[in-house]
Amino acid sequence: MAILSEKTWKRHSNPLSVWSRILSYPLVYLPFWYRSWKQGAAVAAWFAVNPVLFPEPESDESWATRGVLGEELWTAERPRDLSTALTGASAAFFASGLWSAYKRRFWPTMFFGGTAFLLKLWYIDRMTFYYEQHREEARDKRANSRSQRQ
């Protein structure tokens, strides 16, 4: 997600983008289960298009919006904190879920995929907390960058 532009981050912070992406996570396992590159291409296209499909939110009141805006700030700084550990753990469970799906092992896929999903939600919650801690600093940076462009 580090390659997103500021405008893309804003659009991706729309709660519809966040929730449709999160609720689509289980779809990632299907191409591995069925060994279908066509399904894989469709899922990959959805995840690539999703961050730009929706307009910027009107405010940052939504938990999902604050989570993505916090992720934008966190990604720029890359502090070594609990969020780093959550990302690593989620990635490990996600990879194990993909392997289990490829091997067509239902319950291990459910366990690893479900755990990865819960860790991802916890990560987004941490990003919301990070955003709330750094919100004013981020607004000051944006205001400064806008005034320098004019």
pLDDT per residue as tens digits for the range 48-58 = 999 999 999 99
SS3 139: helix
What's the per-residue H, E or C state across 19-75? HHHHHHHHHHHHHHHHCCHHHHHHHHHHHHHHHHHCCCCCCCCCHHHHHHHHHHHHH
SS3 15: helix
pTM of the full structure: 0.85
Tokens of 109: 């896929």
Domain boundaries defined on the chain: 6-149
pLDDT per residue as tens digits for the range 87-124 = 999 999 999 999 999 999 999 999 999 999 999 999 99
Other CB atoms closer than 10 Å to residue 132's CB: what's the count? 13
